[in-house]
Structure 1
Amino acid sequence: MEELLPTVLLPGEAEALVESLRNFQLRDIGDYGWIRQHEYIEKLNMQAVLSASSGQEQFLIELLVNNAKIPILIQELITVEIWKQKIFPILCRLEDFKPKSTFPIYLVVRHEASVINLLETVFFHKEICESAEDTILDLIDYTHRKLTLLAAQSSSGKIPVEQKLQREDLANLSSMQELKKQAEDMEFEISLKALSVFRFITGLIESLPVSAVTRMLNTHNFPCLLVQLVEHCPWSYREEGKLKKFENGAWYEVPREDHVKITKLDGQVWIALYNILLSSECQRKYNFNNFSKGQLLKLRAFLTEVVIDQFPNLLEIQRFLSHLAVTDPDPPKKDLILEQVPVIWDQVVGENSGKWKAIAKHQVNNMFSPSEEELKSQARRWAKTYNLDVMEALIPDKPKCAMCGFEAAKRCSHCRNEWYCKRECQVQHWQKHKKACNLMADTLKKIQEDIQTPTN
């Protein structure tokens, strides 16, 4: 008998939650209605993952399309991105702001990750992309900001997330400083989700508005940006002769025999390049000047036989690049059209320019200083949102032993963060794991105390 996956939402519940989604003003982020909507998006997010894993996502897709909610989700995504850039730094600088719990602020910081994760799960479907309508331009701009940041951090040699967590003494940070660091680390995963969303968009180039293709190619020059991601590979680094890569939300050590294996993230970049470079529409519109041509030809060094064996379609890119190297493509044809431009970012910033500090103080006084009863109520609701059966079902792969890499079934009872296949591996790994284990356990304890029993 086929095993049934846990269900987060019944069909009627999912329909009610989707219908209730609406846009919030920047000033209202963090209020009661906004927090409830964040919970709804989290539930829809989990249900989307569970449904997609069982091939039963069509019902949720139809709900989002028929109720025209994709533009609302895109506006939510960009509004909270602006909040994190404009309001959050002000909160972190307020010396007299020492909240009983940073959990309400954490929900806002997390919101961007929740929305982009939901969009990543559903954007595989053509009807979702088409239902975005004009906001697809805003989403393209959003992904460009995220991928530009990702490429810039990697090219500058910024320390990966995993190392930063080990090298900083989080115990000496204030609650707001620690939250700021969590937000910085979360930005990395958000950018990777944005890469996935952009890859899905490139697969539907023929269905995109003309302005979207022009913006993708010539306003932002995504082909050259993708070359930088191939060149610097932000989800991979070497430490003490060992290769580590980021996948499924965690860094892992790559066995030597898998060093040349293409990961899912590598594949996202190559597929996006494939979709763009081999599209007749893009070849007609893209400006193959000396700079862009030189950047694209860098890809030939990465198209080895080993890579092409894993991804045979890349042979077509290799042929295209060989042809590009010996030809001078015609200048792009300029169509006489009225070009659309994205509006969400400019509209939100324009409406709130000069009001950032006032908005921050308003939110401190009215939203981010909840009473003890309000915090307990939030904790109870979140305990219902996240139940163990659902969370286990959302794990994409079986956990791996932190020592030997084999499939693991035992978890560290202290920090609940590392897995082991047997007792011997846990003992051998303890000296390396000890410091992180104690830090993680203390942090979890502190968060639990903040949520459930805040001090007066």
Structure 2
Amino acid sequence: MKHHEVLEKLNIQAHANTQQQSEEYVTEALITFDKVRTLIYDLLVTEAWKNKIFPVVHAAGATKKNSLKVYFMLYHEATIVNLFEIVLFNKDACVACGDAVLDLIDYCSRKLTLLNAWCVIWRQRITNLQAYLLNLDEGQHLSQNKAELDFSIAINTLSLFRYLTDYITDLSLSAMTRILNNNDMICSAVYLIERAPWLKRTSTKEFARFDDGAWKEIPRDELPRLGKVWLVLYNLLIEPECREKYEYTAQRQSVILRLQPYLNETLVDQLPILKDLERHLVELSLMKPPENVDVMKRGLLVEQIPEMYNEITNGVNWKQLAEDHKRTLLGGTDQSIRDTAKSLAAMYDLDEFDSMLEDPKCAKCGHVAMQRCSRCKNEWYCGRVCQVKAWKSHKPACDLLTRPADQ
């Protein structure tokens, strides 16, 4: 938890520097002291914990007693990805990844797959989230939070992927090969354009777009697909070196040409560089790709492979590790849980970063709030009516945060 607290403060500081257009010394320090690879390792460890350990301890009910701590263990992945959104904007940071960039590329590929497979049911649940959460117990609430985090992380990962493609010619040849041919992330991006998981219909039959970590209603004339994905496709399909290395087949050609209906006049006006992509698709439609790629004619290529994730997961007794985590979570005392809650609350009690936050929303109705709970100072309401209605569900958390340390 101390490690998470330090990393979260670095993340907040990095965003503050960017917003204020001041010197980005967090990014510079991570590059200078060769900590970009360390962040990638931390990201992969957290992902492995979420995939291998969390399902076991959650199914056993061990997360119910200390759900707040477990949530921040899940949230740690979001913190690292959010920090990478600032750090990898710098070309030197992408280059500083070294061989670990292959693991980062595979991580991005897994997140693209998650978005392409994202279930419509979850999008409908999020539409009525406030009413839905009232009927959940603590374990179900944690599962819901994990699903929302997974979606938000996957969307934010698109920024990381876009930065990697921006500087793809500065990365190793193995990185380019892994993006283009091993993972075929061009076709994955095309599927994303078609599915558009960042768009949904609201309860009022209008449209909402997932932006800055929240669903926001938008007018119908703002519906064009997410710009990050279009920039990724532009970088990979227009860059001459990528066009030379990409192994076109009839199947890949047919998938890429499915982009043509989406390149409408409105989208090209918003992103003028897509005119080049539009021209390329016309040229591609006239090209006849080979039916079968002869592997023997490619020549000899000594290719690097990702090593970090294999080092993390190979030879681990996940069953025993899950048992250790269950004992740790179940062995926490009420006092330790309260101390954890207070330390996490203090982590975000930073007045100098108030300008970075959006206007608070009422915990009951979701409208802009003007006042908050006078006891815990953590919950916001638009007025006394909503505060009274929400008191029954808010009281346990309020009592926990305001209870004296010796009780």
TM-score with structure 1 setting the length: 0.78
Q: CA deviation at 1:246?
A: 1.2
Q: Relative to 1, partners in 2 of residues 1:298 and 1:290: Cα closer, same or farther, differing over 3 Å?
A: same
Within-5 A mapping of 1:298-447: 298-328=258-288, 334=298, 336-352=300-316, 355-366=317-328, 369-395=331-357, 410-411=369-370, 413=372, 416=379, 445-447=395-397
Matched, 1:87 2:53: yes
Matched, 1:270 2:230: yes
Q: CA deviation at 1:117?
A: 0.7
Listed one character per residue, the Cα deviations across residues 93-147 of structure 1 (whole Å, up to 9, x for unaligned) are 214x375432221221111111111111111000111111111000100011111
Q: Relative to 1, partners in 2 of residues 1:208 and 1:195: Cα closer, same or farther, differing over 3 Å?
A: same
| AA of the residue aligned to 1:393 | S
Q: Is the 8 A contact 1:45 1:117 kept in 2?
A: yes
Q: Which residue in 2 is equivalent to 1:54?
A: 20
Question: Of residues 76, 83, 102 in structure 2, which corresponds to 1:118?
Answer: 83
Q: Relative to 1, partners in 2 of residues 1:351 and 1:318: Cα closer, same or farther, differing over 3 Å?
A: same
Q: Is the 8 A contact 1:92 1:177 kept in 2?
A: no
SS at match of 2:216: strand
SS at match of 1:159: helix
Q: Relative to 1, partners in 2 of residues 1:455 and 1:222: Cα closer, same or farther, differing over 3 Å?
A: farther
SS at match of 1:153: coil
Q: Which residue in 2 is equivalent to 1:27?
A: none
| AA of the residue aligned to 1:288 | Y
In structure 2, C-alpha distance between the alignment counterparts of 1:153 and 1:320, rounded to whole Å: 30
Matched, 1:72 2:32: no
Q: Relative to 1, partners in 2 of residues 1:164 and 1:217: Cα closer, same or farther, differing over 3 Å?
A: farther
Within-5 A mapping of 1:27-66: 35-66=1-32
Q: CA deviation at 1:245?
A: 1.2
TM-score with structure 2 setting the length: 0.87
Q: Relative to 1, partners in 2 of residues 1:238 and 1:338: Cα closer, same or farther, differing over 3 Å?
A: same
SS at match of 2:84: helix
Q: Relative to 1, partners in 2 of residues 1:104 and 1:327: Cα closer, same or farther, differing over 3 Å?
A: same
In structure 1, C-alpha distance between the alignment counterparts of 2:392 and 2:231, rounded to whole Å: 42
Q: Relative to 1, partners in 2 of residues 1:361 and 1:351: Cα closer, same or farther, differing over 3 Å?
A: same
* Structure 1 vs Structure 2 CA RMSD: 3.2
In structure 1, C-alpha distance between the alignment counterparts of 2:173 and 2:393, rounded to whole Å: 49
Listed one character per residue, the Cα deviations across residues 67-89 of structure 1 (whole Å, up to 9, x for unaligned) are 11111111111111111111111
Matched, 1:216 2:176: no
Instruction: Structure 2: give runs of 5+ residues left out of the alignment.
Output: none
Q: CA deviation at 1:171?
A: 3.8
| AA of the residue aligned to 2:213 | G
Within-5 A mapping of 1:11-22: none
Q: Which residue in 2 is equivalent to 1:259?
A: 222
Q: Which residue in 1 is equivalent to 2:161?
A: 198
Alignment: residue pair count: 395
Instruction: Structure 1: give runs of 5+ residues left out of the alignment.
Output: 1-34, 420-425
In structure 2, C-alpha distance between the alignment counterparts of 1:451 and 1:342, rounded to whole Å: 44
Q: Relative to 1, partners in 2 of residues 1:164 and 1:143: Cα closer, same or farther, differing over 3 Å?
A: farther
Q: CA deviation at 1:445?
A: 4.4
Matched, 1:297 2:257: yes
Q: Which residue in 1 is equivalent to 2:201?
A: 238
Matched, 1:225 2:188: yes
Listed one character per residue, the Cα deviations across residues 356-387 of structure 1 (whole Å, up to 9, x for unaligned) are 23212212323563334433433343333212
| AA of the residue aligned to 2:208 | K
